[in-house]
Amino acid sequence: MNWSNVKLVCHRELRDQWRDRRTMFTTLVLPLITYPIMGLIMVQVAQFVSEHSSKVDVYGAHYLEGHNPALLDGERNSEISFADSLSEADPRTEHKIKLLEIKRTLVSQDEWTLEGVKEDAIRKIEAKEIDAALVIPPRLGEYLNRLVNEAEYLGEVADPTVAPLGEEVISPYVISNSVTDRSRLAGERLEDILYTWHGMLVDTYFETGQIPKQLADPFQIDQIDIAPAESKSAAFWARIIPFMLLMWTLTGAFYPAIDLCAGEKERGTLETLLVGAASRLEIVGGKLLTVMVFSMLISIFNIISIWLTSSFVASKIPLGDDFGGIPLMAMVWATAIVIPLAALFSALSLTAATFARSTKEGQYYLMPLIFLCMPLMMVSMMPNIELDLGNAMVPVCGAALLLRELVQGNMDTALRYAVPVIGVTLFCCYLSIRWATAQFNNESVLFRESEKWNFQLWIKHIYRYRKPLPTAAAAVGFGVLLLSIRFAVMFAGGMPEQWSSFASKQSITMILTIGLPPILFAFWLSRDWRQTLKLNLPCSNRLSLLLLAALIPLLLQPLMIYLQMFIQWLYPVNAVSGTGLEQIAAMIEQAPLWSVLFVIAVLPAVCEELAFRGFMLSGLQTESKPWSSIFITAAFFGLAHGMLQQSLNAFLVGILIGYLVVRTNSLWIGVVYHFVHNGFTVVLSEVGTPTGDGGVSFADSPLGFLFESSGESGEVYKPVVSVVASLLAILCVWLFHMLSVAKDKPEQLVLDSALEGRNRHEGHGE
């Protein structure tokens, strides 16, 4: 690649963008004026929300008349208010009392019922006549007097005429609507006032019975917070800044990319650029650098603006220790993280913009891109997710958590995982650049014309003009549809309690959602359904290849066990998923072997191979390179397995199965491998002895010499066995490669099959 050409393309694009005043204003000026205004508005809104008064109705206030300490002041049938002693007991209660507008609600003695009063209060709250209600039960005053007598009894001054205290507890009711902010806030204020009164009652009872107050409050907790002052002041921003920074980087890259690609198509200048001396890769490199510059500038200027705003607000308005300015060094480190993120989002945006026929169409692609990245961006706002090695290896997610640690000032944790986060981000950036370059090398993508779309005509067209094999777009669309169906079925119904119910549900689901769709799509979207589903045996060395396909998973079993242990260490199984797996394991222990093999091994081997290595792989091979098709198919295959740990394992297994199928163009190779891989695990569980904690012991089995105890992991293959088996598996894969002959394009296999059939037909005619 000639970097001088890249530099020329980048200078050309930057010069065009700088000439646009709207671009300059959006990039440099708008971030500096937006956040100060936003900060002022947020402060004003926060003050308004926290200071508005609440309307409260009190039912049964007369039942507490004359009680000491008093909760309410006021004569019967008159206005009431909360007692002044409450404000004296706790100064914070005084402020809450001032924000409550309370009034007495009169209910006649004959009509008074607790349920009736509650219904009346609920009706008023739903009609928004009041915000909350306080209900005093009829016997609350009597109950409190008996508590006083009990305290006097403990102090040996009790009144013998008062009935002894029983186990019944009578409490006041606070009625509010937690969904409505005004009602929820009014209910919280009432509860705080009642807790203050509760403390006063406890103090009174202990003084009456001459009981030491230490019995009610034996000790206080002295908390020592070791968090640095800067980290405490940045606690609020640490959860928000990463999400906002990632959004700035993505949106800052997307709109320039749309103008540089789809905009050039509309202006008619793309053809001039393509016929120049620069190669397609150099053009992509120049445009990518331009988009990165704008993405980084927008992110940096937003960081500067929000840092200045937070520092000013924290210095002028006392909002507490948890809301302060952002440390300057945290912003410096965050700016450094922007560089690889800008490269990643710029490459993704450039790919989407290249595919778009116009700027209007390109803008539609922003929302799907945001929706795909949004769950990974929002992890920084979740309290129970921390930065560790597993999260650091998840694209975008690791960057968001790393930014959170930097803003909080946790430099030790940030530096420990900075390398894997940046490494994964750069690797994803490399893949995105390769994808963008492939888009630029595809003339059908660069020069797509706008067309009117009619659903009925589109359905007829794809059926009437279908090719021997489905297209790559049809394969990807099929994969997305399959995942959507699996997602909907996954949460339908609960976990069966018996194996028969589980087996029936699993079998029906597997056949209808995985096995049947590829057959229907093969008949609808291809002319040769047999070649689409790869239902032919290998062209040569059939028996040897089938035997190797069965032997490789057996030899790789020890390695897969260790790999599964590593994945579970990296991403531990949560309690809910672990409970579900234990229930399934318990059902499998009681089920017949043939039934378990059918559900766990036979059905997945046939149905999943038809879907992923059959229809989907055939469609991707028509327009993509073999390894690209294998990786994309394996990714969809992994996503179809609900749990993350299973998805990662299935992705790696899918890569190997896809390679074997591509080499032979035979689905049966994949079926054999898949069946042996799943079935051998089932057979091992039958050979071993259950340990009661979900594990299996092989000490007393004929295979006991292959295993050893590993403490918490139970029994695993001996390291020597694992190494020897892995080396033999590599040898078998090499033999498989030598015995099989792969075609570069699957269409050639279709033509060869057609020619073979025609020659056979002519031979019969002679």
Tens digit of pLDDT for each residue in 39-79?
666 665 555 555 678 889 888 888 888 778 888 887 776 78
Q: Which amino acid is at 547?
A: L
Q: Can you give the pTM of this predicted structure?
A: 0.70
Q: Give the per-residue pLDDT at 268.
A: 76
Looking at the DSSP bridge assignments, the partners of residue 689 are 697
In contact, 328 and 230? CB cutoff 8 Å: no
- Rounded to the nearest angstrom, the gap between the alpha carbon of residue 692 and the centroid of all alpha carbons in its chain is 33
Low-confidence spans in the chain with pLDDT less than 50 = 158, 744, 747, 750-751, 753-766
Say if CB 216 and CB 205 are below 8 A apart: no
What are the angstrom distances between the C-alpha of 173 and each of 59, 112, 122, 134, 283? Answer: 10, 15, 12, 6, 71
**Cα–Cα distance for residue pair 614/471, rounded to 1 Å:** 13
Instruction: Give the span between the Cα atoms of 471 and 461, in whole angstroms.
Output: 13
Instruction: Give me the residues paired with residue 56 across strands.
Output: 102, 132
Phi and psi at residue 104, in whole multiples of 5°? -80, 135
| H runs (alpha helix) in 442-515 | 443-446, 455-464, 472-490, 499-510
> What secondary structure does DSSP assign to 316-328, as a single string?
HS---TTS-PPPH
Angle at alpha carbon of residue 625, lines to 531 and 560, rounded to 5°: 85
pLDDT score, position 610: 93
Position 755 scores a pLDDT of 45
